[in-house]
Structure 1
């Protein structure tokens, strides 16, 4: 069954990284969102990959919602050109509002903050708190080592195969969006065994 993903949260770095491809692909994600009529929801900054994906969407006439905590305004430099900018008090408020505004989640390359946001969202799905597709765009093989570690978690019996399958991976945004449109949340969540259904 195909789903229409109309609004996607993008988590990514507030820096650009060493390779130009990260910025180029972040901008391309924004272009693709605008072309497909997908609303971008993101962290509200105008710097780094955050700024690149937002600018990419805006350049092509896309809708962009930024959500930024007040205390980060000076660090991430809020993007005043977005369609709507929401200022919140805490990081928790930021994630909650981003979740509420979206029906899918994608992580582009990033650091600790990106991983924390990504894994909180996939954990919420694992616990049955939402049924949204959650994906990783593996630009330039950036997340190859994370993929290997997730395989290791599963092999060691600390992550169920059905929960592992909840995290989608794509090497291009087009591939990842197709997987997200075909995604069906598993009936089995972390605390429900198959024989209880």
Structure 2
């Protein structure tokens, strides 16, 4: 397993809020459910606001429940189409209802200092590739941490290696995100990440 990271001699990334991308399915391995709950607890106990997709189901709901139960804040951002089918979490610090999926991603980006990817499905992949692409385009340089819980994201890392090896992306692509093995490794990895130097360009996202 390759662990992608950037060397840091700079001040640490400020961590007031972390955006979590993760699955909305509840039909997943118990280890993934426990990891989502544990990470929500870690954020809550450390006074770090959780920013997420606003759902009450699957890993999203478990992470939010644990963050709030630990005394933390949880900010959900959900498109109206999902809110209308009653999958929105109702026990949050803030719930923002937006019109489009792009507005959702944009607001989650604006509210977050870093991004953490837990196991998830195609929606999680979409969010992950987009936030990495934005960083590749130098629209931001906020840290991105992929949690390879139980080897779940090993195929994703292999795919990135394949893309680079095939010439469709440069070697620097491997430095756009970091891979850790468990949720307990996330905050130490973020503490070692350099503070963003680029001014975000929200008008270009």
Misfit runs of 4+, over 4 Å: none
Does 1:120 find its partner at 2:130?
Answer: yes
Of the two structures, which has the highest relative contact order with CA contacts closer than 8 Å and spacing of 6 or more?
2
1:78 maps to 88
2:162 maps to 152
Question: Secondary structure in 1 aligned to 2:115?
Answer: strand
Question: Secondary structure in 1 aligned to 2:62?
Answer: helix
TM-score (norm 2): 0.86
Query: Going by fraction, where is helix more abundant, 1 or 2?
Result: 1
Aligned positions of 1:10-89 closer than 5 A: 10-75=20-85, 77-89=87-99
Question: Secondary structure in 2 aligned to 1:77?
Answer: coil
Aligned residue-pair number: 187
Does 1:168 find its partner at 2:178?
Answer: yes
Shift in Å at residue 67 of structure 1?
0.4
Of 76, 81, 92, which aligns to 2:102? 92
TM-score (norm 1): 0.89
Q: Distance in 2 between matches of 1:141 and 1:16?
A: 19
Question: Secondary structure in 1 aligned to 2:131?
Answer: helix
Report if the CA contact (8 A) 2:116-2:147 is conserved.
yes
Unmatched 5+ stretches in structure 1: 188-197
Q: Distance in 1 between matches of 2:48 and 2:196?
A: 24
Q: Distance in 1 between matches of 2:82 and 2:104?
A: 11
Q: Distance in 2 between matches of 1:184 and 1:3?
A: 6
Structural RMSD (CA): 1.7
